[in-house]
Amino acid sequence: MKIGVLGAGQLGRMMAISGYPLNHQFGFSGNSNDEPSSLLGHMFALEDNKDSIESLITFADVITYESENTDIEVVREINKNIPVYPGEKSLFTTQHRGREKALFDQFNIPCAPYKMVNSEQDLVDAVNTIGLPAILKTATEGYDGKGQFLMRDTSEITKAWKSMNGVESILEGFVNFKRELSLIAVRGIDNDHKYYPLVENTHHNGILRLTIAPAQAIDSKVQETAEHYMQTLLDEMNHVGVLTIELFETEDGLVVNEMAPRVHNSGHWSIEGANTSQFENHVRAITGMPLGDTTPIHSFSAMVNIIGKSGPTEIALNMPNAHLHLYDKEERTGRKLGHINITANSQAELDTSIAKLVDFLP
């Protein structure tokens, strides 16, 4: 099939790399011809074609997207002619933190206490209800910790509200978590579901730095609970494709932070670490193919992000159990340039391999 991707970043690039062996073709709509996906398919770039999305639709049998910040009006228009997966409900819900949390509430899925905030007075009221510490976040378009203000004291109310630049926001109670986890799953057009194991994520300056897969010391009940939340959300949104849920592990169990209607940075380990990668499974799902097995191949896998500078690439190339994935991007502070997947047979081997790489990260 011909798959059209709205966006042309590294996620589209890795979808294409996994989709070609299945005989699919790819087209991308992006801003310019030097984005990470541009050499991996037909590129419909705004810089040389103002109707780039029209051209993509003419090319494609099915459309998917790289980001929950994709314009929903564009998706609605496309959907009149060809299918877009994940569908409108998944996109509409996940692009707004308030709608997402309302859905969690509807199904008794635990999340942080929250209140929507549209003015400084709203923020005063929200702080009175929720208490401090709390995090003020923009309702839409936040990613990698951008658009967030951690409030510890009521004296910060004016500053916190100003930092939101007047846009609709949400105040969330601060969750005291033991660690951050995520669950990635895929749902097919025929309603089949497959789940990857929970993974553990570590962030640095708001950006994902390290994923351990599977997360160690996870009780089977915890995995089951996460899968139950996931299944509820997948079915309610009639989701087709990969869905990611980010969670906090707390003393009192799992608390859901947010979700993303797409392949996710915390699933990159699955390229070498699982029988079928998240990218291949997303492609299989949106093209109506049977879903692939999600079982990990190795007892221990990890993913180390290459952020800002391509420092550890030489080292990775000389490590027998490391797999280098670069995204064809220029170095820039805070930018995800690639990642390194590590596979190991023991915790000790995994730890030693990660230690060799982490020294080189910012």
Spatial separation of the C-alpha atoms in residues 168 and 136, rounded to whole Å? 10
* Nearer CB in complex with ligand AMP: 68/172: 172
Q: Is 113 among the residues that bind ligand AMP (CB under 6 A)?
A: no
Q: Which is nearer to ligand AMP, 128 or 345 (CB)?
A: 128
Q: How far apart are CA 66 and CA 129, in angstroms?
A: 36
CA distances from 349 to 266, 325, 332 (A): 20, 21, 31
Angle at 47 between CA 41 and CA 53, to 5 degrees: 60
Q: Decide if residue 246 touches ligand AMP (CB under 6 A).
A: yes
Residue 175 in contact with ligand AMP, rule: CB under 6 A: yes
For residue 175, CA distances in Å to 28, 93, 132, 233, 335 come to 38, 22, 11, 22, 27
**Quick check: 41 and 25 in contact, CB under 8 A?**
yes
Which of 171, 283 has the CB closer to ligand AMP? 171
Cα 124 off chain centre by = 32
Q: According to the binding rule CB under 6 A, does residue 249 interact with ligand AMP?
A: no
Q: How far is the CB of 149 from ligand AMP (least distance, A)?
A: 11
Residue 227: DSSP 8-state: H
Strand positions, DSSP E, the chain: 2-6, 25-30, 42-45, 62-65, 114-117, 134-138, 148-151, 169-173, 179-187, 193-195, 199-204, 207-213, 241-250, 253-260, 300-307, 322-326, 336-344
When asked if residue 112 is in the footprint of ligand AMP (CB under 6 A), the reply is: yes
Q: Taking the complex as a whole, how short is the minimal distance between the CB of residue 163 and ligand AMP, in angstroms?
A: 15
Q: Which of 225, 257, 301, 343 binds ligand AMP (CB under 6 A)?
A: 257
Determine the interface stretch with ligand AMP among 1-9, 37-45, 98-106, 171-179 (rule: CB under 6 A).
171-179
**Nearest approach, Cβ of residue 144 and ligand AMP (Å):** 7
Nearer CB in complex with ligand AMP: 74/116? 116
- Contact between 180 and ligand AMP per CB under 6 A: yes
Nearer to ligand AMP, 135 or 286 (CB): 135
- Note whether 83 binds ligand AMP by CB under 6 A: no
CB of 225 to ligand AMP, least distance (A): 19
CA–CA dist 115, 136 (Å, integer): 10
Q: Give least dist CB 8 to ligand AMP, A.
A: 23
Q: How far is the CB of 355 from ligand AMP (least distance, A)?
A: 23
Count other Cβ atoms within 10 Å, centred on residue 119: 11
Which segment (14-22, 51-59, 170-178, 233-241) binds ligand AMP by CB under 6 A? 170-178
Q: According to CB under 6 A, which one of 174, 195, 222, 326 is a site residue for ligand AMP? A: 174
Across-strand partners of 202?
210
**Secondary structure (3-state) at 65:** strand
- Residues 115-144 binding ligand AMP (CB under 6 A) are 135, 142
Q: Which of 73, 252 has the CB closer to ligand AMP? A: 252
Residues engaged in binding ligand AMP (CB under 6 A): 112, 135, 142, 145, 172, 174-175, 180, 203, 206, 246, 257-258
